[in-house]
Chain A
């Protein structure tokens, strides 16, 4: 097998698979955003999407949530990963505990956090039980959009940090220990070792984790719906609403394409920001 063709040969299964089961149905849906049922090309569905009074709120909520949640998750996951990599005993157990949220779907996570933050939930039970407040507080009411935003942030950080953590832990595992030993010999401190060795060598993993997480963040919905009700419209919620409640698959497709577009833009940005120059590769 010649090297020139090997990569294409290796990519073939995945490409065929995606052509058949993703690109083909995707093309059909995407087409709907620009064509009427009769097949006439039009931009009216795009206009209909952008001119709806909720559009801007949904767009900005989605962006702000992603911008607020993802950086916290990255830093937290990085911190957790470095702690774990230095542990000598109990590493397996702690890592297992920290990856538990991996197994929890967004619907279930919404359920759990609603039970905590609800007016008759656990947090209120605690506050009233300890005598800190004498009446249960409504955290998730429509006047407290800020509180709802923070609640969604908490739930998302809780639910989806483990994804990043696992990727980073696997990546740190590949960094040769000799590098750290050498750095120690030359007297580099913990922080220096982290910034000069861990971070640069972890770049491929950081890039992967960040791209995946950002894309998932733009599709946030179930947790927002559970905690925020109708108070925090997001793009994915509009997709559902258009497709299944209003049965307007054209505008639904337009919203879906918008999500895709934003995701691709951010993906390219991350690829560029965290690119590894060829000469710096191992």
Chain B
């Protein structure tokens, strides 16, 4: 027992010393990112993307909770360590007031996507974030699924009806449902409803939320759901279920399919999202870099922001994170399989005759989360809870209307522009 006490005492002394010694250390520029979380991606960001930057960068990817909490704390304390932020368009809407104006940033010869630059103003007159990278959602399939494809269906111009039929055939012929949908807690299901299903059936994201067309859409989705793997409510990134072959056909974010493509490029294909009566709805995902007003070294942070927009950096980022460039670049031919497969699917999707691109929600401020929750709740009530479609749509439309009015957000594509808050008819 004496030795236990002695050891403990020695440990206390040693630890107190090391705690003191630790307080002094070199200041790296802290890149506080919500993207690039998977360990392999974080490693690639550090080794390949940020190693070319003149200063030394500490790339710290984080889960949404800690990411947000740390940022909020620094803003509230009025000082902090975060130099540069990396996050989705929707993550920034809450913090517009706390982000430094980047209008004067020198982007060099990078030709930045104009629409995305506009989104980066977050509805203000200042440039709140600089677009960093983009992605979208596509379909992916195991090649085994192709033999069950309905007759006459073109994989690159699929309709929702054909997808339902295909899923049904697969379920019947193989004995188990082979369509998978990311409906888990961390799955990106709400984007499917907002940017894919609604535009494809109603040519709207908000205005026609409770329309008759929307009712059709949800009933179609319920039909698709009956041939969907019931494990879907636990799926987050569909690459996992593709690789385990738990399912054969999936819908997901390109970055969440990348592992499957890279690991077994010959076994999988990527193809455009299906089309409905009002076209082939799809939606981009925009990730931006921003600088909080509390950044310790504003100059270094701005240098890093402009470095991220550099075409060469953008190509390295694409290899590391499977997110596509937001500036004009010439892609080299030696790109990873995921980039080639999903890149060509995206090109087919946006180039299709019936393409119906939507925009990301703008002007929602800190109600962005609640906006998405409306779609998630609608899904959970109608599809999982089996509630009446009409009644749920009416109830949720009320919530949606409140969100739009409270945020005073005008409509965005594909809804026609509105004076005042976007109406829910």
Tell whether, in the assembled complex, residue A229 and residue B184 are in contact, meaning their CB atoms are under 8 Å apart.
yes
Q: Which residues from B are CB-within-8-Å of A118?
A: 231, 244, 246
Tell whether, in the assembled complex, residue B64 and residue A119 are in contact, meaning their CB atoms are under 8 Å apart.
no
Instruction: Tell whether A230 pairs with B230 under 8 Å between CB atoms, given A246-B373, A247-B366.
Output: no
Q: Which residues from A are CB-within-8-Å of B380?
A: 54, 230
Tell whether, in the assembled complex, residue A138 and residue B230 are in contact, meaning their CB atoms are under 8 Å apart.
yes
- The distance in angstroms between the C-alpha atoms of A142 and B231, with both chains bound, is 7
User: What bracket does the count of chain A residues touching chain B fall in?
Assistant: 20 to 34
Q: Mark A214-241, 1 if CB is under 8 A from B, else 0.
A: 0000000000011111110000010010
**Is B152 in contact with chain A by the CB < 8 A criterion?**
no
Instruction: Tell whether A230 pairs with B185 under 8 Å between CB atoms, given A119-B229, A143-B230.
Output: yes
**Is B420 in contact with chain A by the CB < 8 A criterion?**
no
**Is A248 in contact with chain B by the CB < 8 A criterion?**
yes
Min Cβ gap A273→B in Å is 36
Q: Which residues from A are CB-within-8-Å of B94?
A: 247
Tell whether, in the assembled complex, residue A119 and residue B231 are in contact, meaning their CB atoms are under 8 Å apart.
yes
Q: Which residues from B are CB-within-8-Å of A240?
A: 65
- The distance in angstroms between the C-alpha atoms of A240 and B185, with both chains bound, is 11
The interface centre, meaning the residue of A118, A230, A231 with most chain B CB atoms within 10 A of its CB, is A230
**Is B233 in contact with chain A by the CB < 8 A criterion?**
yes
Tell whether, in the assembled complex, residue A135 and residue B175 are in contact, meaning their CB atoms are under 8 Å apart.
yes
**Is A120 in contact with chain B by the CB < 8 A criterion?**
yes
- The distance in angstroms between the C-alpha atoms of A140 and B368, with both chains bound, is 30
Q: Which residues from B are CB-within-8-Å of A135?
A: 175-176
**Is A17 in contact with chain B by the CB < 8 A criterion?**
no
**Is B183 in contact with chain A by the CB < 8 A criterion?**
yes
Closest residue on chain A to residue B371 by CB atoms: A246
**Is B46 in contact with chain A by the CB < 8 A criterion?**
no
Tell whether, in the assembled complex, residue A229 and residue B229 are in contact, meaning their CB atoms are under 8 Å apart.
no
- The distance in angstroms between the C-alpha atoms of A113 and B296, with both chains bound, is 44
Q: Which residues from A are CB-within-8-Å of B373?
A: 245-246
Closest residue on chain A to residue B234 by CB atoms: A229
Min Cβ gap B344→A in Å is 29
- The distance in angstroms between the C-alpha atoms of A227 and B230, with both chains bound, is 13
The interface centre, meaning the residue of A114, A135, A138, A144 with most chain B CB atoms within 10 A of its CB, is A138
**Is A204 in contact with chain B by the CB < 8 A criterion?**
no
Min Cβ gap A1→B in Å is 23
**Is A194 in contact with chain B by the CB < 8 A criterion?**
no
- The distance in angstroms between the C-alpha atoms of A120 and B247, with both chains bound, is 10
Instruction: Tell whether A243 pairs with B233 under 8 Å between CB atoms, given A229-B185, A230-B185.
Output: no
**Is A101 in contact with chain B by the CB < 8 A criterion?**
no
Instruction: Tell whether A120 pairs with B246 under 8 Å between CB atoms, given A227-B234, A228-B234, A230-B183.
Output: yes
Q: Is the interface of B mostly helix, strand, loop or mixed?
A: helix
Instruction: Tell whether A120 pairs with B245 under 8 Å between CB atoms, given A142-B384, A229-B183, A244-B64.
Output: yes
Q: Mark B150-176, 1 if CB is under 8 A from A, else 0.
A: 000000000000000000000000011
Min Cβ gap A257→B in Å is 19
**Is B68 in contact with chain A by the CB < 8 A criterion?**
yes
**Is B369 in contact with chain A by the CB < 8 A criterion?**
yes
Min Cβ gap A136→B in Å is 8
**Is A186 in contact with chain B by the CB < 8 A criterion?**
no
Tell whether, in the assembled complex, residue A53 and residue B370 are in contact, meaning their CB atoms are under 8 Å apart.
no
Find B230's partner among A136, A142, A228, A237 (CB 8 Å cutoff). Answer: A142
Q: Which A residues from 122 to 181 make CB contacts under 8 A with B?
A: 135-136, 138, 140-144
Q: Which residues from A are CB-within-8-Å of B235?
A: 229
Tell whether, in the assembled complex, residue A120 and residue B185 are in contact, meaning their CB atoms are under 8 Å apart.
no
- The distance in angstroms between the C-alpha atoms of A135 and B68, with both chains bound, is 43
Tell whether, in the assembled complex, residue A140 and residue B370 are in contact, meaning their CB atoms are under 8 Å apart.
no
Tell whether, in the assembled complex, residue A243 and residue B65 are in contact, meaning their CB atoms are under 8 Å apart.
yes
**Is B222 in contact with chain A by the CB < 8 A criterion?**
no
Tell whether, in the assembled complex, residue A53 and residue B230 are in contact, meaning their CB atoms are under 8 Å apart.
no
Closest residue on chain A to residue B93 by CB atoms: A247
**Is B74 in contact with chain A by the CB < 8 A criterion?**
no
Tell whether, in the assembled complex, residue A140 and residue B381 are in contact, meaning their CB atoms are under 8 Å apart.
no
Closest residue on chain A to residue B67 by CB atoms: A244
- The distance in angstroms between the C-alpha atoms of A143 and B234, with both chains bound, is 12
Find B369's partner among A143, A229, A246 (CB 8 Å cutoff). Answer: A246
Min Cβ gap A226→B in Å is 8
Instruction: Tell whether A142 pairs with B68 under 8 Å between CB atoms, given A120-B244, A230-B184.
Output: no
Min Cβ gap A107→B in Å is 11
Tell whether, in the assembled complex, residue A140 and residue B384 are in contact, meaning their CB atoms are under 8 Å apart.
no
Tell whether, in the assembled complex, residue B65 and residue A53 are in contact, meaning their CB atoms are under 8 Å apart.
no
Q: Which residues from A are CB-within-8-Å of B366?
A: 247
Closest residue on chain A to residue B175 by CB atoms: A135
- The distance in angstroms between the C-alpha atoms of A246 and B184, with both chains bound, is 17
Closest residue on chain B to residue A121 by CB atoms: B244
Tell whether, in the assembled complex, residue B185 and residue A225 are in contact, meaning their CB atoms are under 8 Å apart.
yes
Tell whether, in the assembled complex, residue B229 and residue A138 are in contact, meaning their CB atoms are under 8 Å apart.
yes
Tell whether, in the assembled complex, residue A248 and residue B68 are in contact, meaning their CB atoms are under 8 Å apart.
no
Q: Mark B55-86, 1 if CB is under 8 A from A, else 0.
A: 00000000011001100000000000000000
Tell whether, in the assembled complex, residue B233 and residue A229 are in contact, meaning their CB atoms are under 8 Å apart.
yes
**Is B118 in contact with chain A by the CB < 8 A criterion?**
no
Min Cβ gap B39→A in Å is 14
- The distance in angstroms between the C-alpha atoms of A120 and B180, with both chains bound, is 14
Tell whether, in the assembled complex, residue B234 and residue A247 are in contact, meaning their CB atoms are under 8 Å apart.
no
Find A245's partner among B64, B183, B246 (CB 8 Å cutoff). Answer: B64
Q: Which residues from A are CB-within-8-Å of B64?
A: 244-245
Min Cβ gap A238→B in Å is 11
Instruction: Tell whether A138 pairs with B231 under 8 Å between CB atoms, given A53-B377, A230-B183, A237-B185.
Output: yes
Tell whether, in the assembled complex, residue B370 and residue A246 are in contact, meaning their CB atoms are under 8 Å apart.
yes
12 contacts between A and B (CB under 8 A): A114-B234, A135-B175, A136-B176, A138-B230, A140-B234, A141-B229, A229-B183, A229-B185, A237-B185, A240-B65, A244-B65, A247-B94
In the complex, the 3 A-B pairs of residues with the closest C-beta atoms, listed nearest first: A141-B230, A229-B234, A246-B369
Given contacts A114-B234, A225-B185, 10 further A-B contacts (CB under 8 A): A120-B244, A141-B231, A142-B232, A227-B234, A231-B384, A244-B68, A245-B64, A245-B372, A246-B369, A248-B369
